[in-house]
Amino acid sequence: MHVILGCDHAGLALCAFLEEQLKASHSLEVFKPTQGERVDYPDYAALVVQALLDKPNTRGVLVCGSGIGMSIGANRFKGVRAALCTDAYMAKMARLHNNANVLCLGQNVVGFGAALDMVAVFLQTGFEGGRHVGRLEKIEALQC
């Protein structure tokens, strides 16, 4: 699976860790600032989302300090369902019930091991479909 990683300066260490862990088993695209560079999280959310929307069967992972800014920024784009998760159960349910295509993480909120577990579950879990399809259609219809 193709995975697009992105982070701002506050998520750089976790993003680098995830990149190192995932590069052997997934094709990766990474959008991150250089060490010491302060950047704005909406810019990196947009880079990841735009790349994701151009490629089918792709998932994104965004990291900032809390994960909140990245999730808000990513969810501004039609066709994106970004889920801010703090444990593997949330990551699994984001895929099963919400067909989330972007996982948002907070470097200051979750440990690196827990983050890796969430990413693994997020990438391995499919969408359940069924009763959830109509709900997602309602969400898409809400977007202007």
CB 49 within 8 A of CB 81: no
| Cβ neighbours around 35 below 10 Å, total | 9
Rg for the chain, CA atoms, rounded: 14
Q: Which of 7, 9, 15, 64 is catalytic?
A: 64
Q: Which of 97, 104, 132, 144 is catalytic?
A: 97
Known catalytic residue: 97? yes
Q: Other CB atoms closer than 10 Å to residue 33's CB: what's the count?
A: 19
Could you confirm whether 2 is annotated as catalytic?
Answer: no
Strand 58-64, strand 102-106: pairing: parallel
The sign of the CA dihedral 136, 106, 50, 21 is: negative
Contacts of residue 111, defined as CB under 8 A and 6 or more positions apart, other chains included, come to none
Residues assigned a catalytic role: 64, 97
